Amino acid sequence: MDSDLLLFIGLILVVLAIPAIFSALTQSYSPRGGAFLVVIGGGLIILALSTKSGGYTAAQIPEAFFGVIRRFIY
């Protein structure tokens, strides 16, 4: 799997976890689902950072994110 794709999926999972965590906390539930998404997404982000030679800089992250979207659209 491409490191850009791993970064993309990891970022999407972490972003989706934020509303799940807030929803569980406001309803006095344990945020297990959101925590699971954060762990999986964070693991994918760390895997992407470690598999790309030189890692990612802050300027390269949006480029990689939209590059994955561009690959699937075209």
Local confidence pLDDT in tens for the 74 residues of the chain: 799 999 999 999 999 999 999 999 999 999 999 999 999 999 999 999 999 988 899 999 999 999 999 999 98
Model pTM? Answer: 0.89
How much of the chain is helix, strand and coil, in % rounded to 5? 80, 0, 20
State which residues form the domain around 49: 3-73
Q: With contact defined as beta carbons under 8 Å apart, do 7 and 30 qualify?
A: no
pLDDT at 27: 95
Q: With contact defined as beta carbons under 8 Å apart, do 67 and 4 qualify?
A: yes
Number of domain units in the chain = 1
CA distance 60 to 15: 18
pLDDT at 1: 75
pLDDT at 18: 96
